[in-house]
Amino acid sequence: LFVLGKRFKWNKTCFTGSFVPQKRFNAHKIWDNASTPEDGLSSSSFPRAYHLNRWHSWSTFIDLFAGIGGFHYAFHNIGAKCVFASEWDKNARITYEENFKEIDPELFKKNKSGGYKYFNGDINDAKLEEIPDFDILCAGFPCQPFSIAGLRKGFEDTRGTLFFNIANIVKYKTLHNKKPKVLLLENVKGLKNHMHGETFETLLNVLQNDLCYETRTLVLNAKYFGVPQNRERLFFVFWDKSQIDV
């Protein structure tokens, strides 16, 4: 395999090659307590990830702010099934459906009026009671200021933002005894310093204290994972400790 002139070899479970700095990335472990940029991580506080075959016993997810399907592609490759997706951009929706209509045809089923049942447009229009139960929530949500973050009201601080939609879905499922096991969120690196850190603190407060999730965050750069792109992103992993023993 050649990527931008760099030669890679496929060795059943991993890519190896000159683009990756002296490191083999095993496809059977997502992260493994690495602590250096060469390991692909910028924090040593991230927990050991599940071996991929442990995902099969809880393998449904929803894909919010889905774009053209980066999260979908990754989770499909480890055997998980997407039961609901939401993306408002017209062109991204066309590409998303083209990418996944063959591997997840049920996602694009339509109702009697001709609308999609599980492929939502504007997240603000999603009906909570119509979102199927799921194990994992994925979302590359937009970075927005929380207008009253300084008041420290927790969940209410996020009202009016797109992050509120994420939190509200989780809250609804929790109240109906279907609490998601894992939330995987992604944003730009600068979110940690947005509004002098208040946005970041408010987000963590909602998910840790209001919704009762364990939390780890870290910045990952795509170039350390065999991708020819210098792209840093902040990832949040939240898990329900009563359901996930990490």
Catalytic residues: 143
Furthest-apart CA atoms within the chain: distance in Å: 55
From 96, 183, 71, 87, select the one nearest 126 (Cα to Cα). 87
Residue 215, exposed/middle/buried by CB under 10 A (0-12, 13-18, 19+)? middle
Token pair recorded at residue 237: 């992993």
Edge-first strand order for the sheet with 214-221 is 119-120, 81-86, 60-64, 136-139, 182-188, 232-239, 214-221
Task: Classify strands 136-139 and 2-3 as parallel, antiparallel or unpaired.
Answer: unpaired
Of the candidates 137, 143, 169, the residue with the CA atom closest to the CA atom of residue 238: 137
CA distance 57 to 166: 24
> Residue 165 in contact with residue 211, Cβ under 8 Å?
no
- Structure tokens given for 82: 């997407």
**Closest C-alpha to 233, from 189, 192, 183, 199:** 189
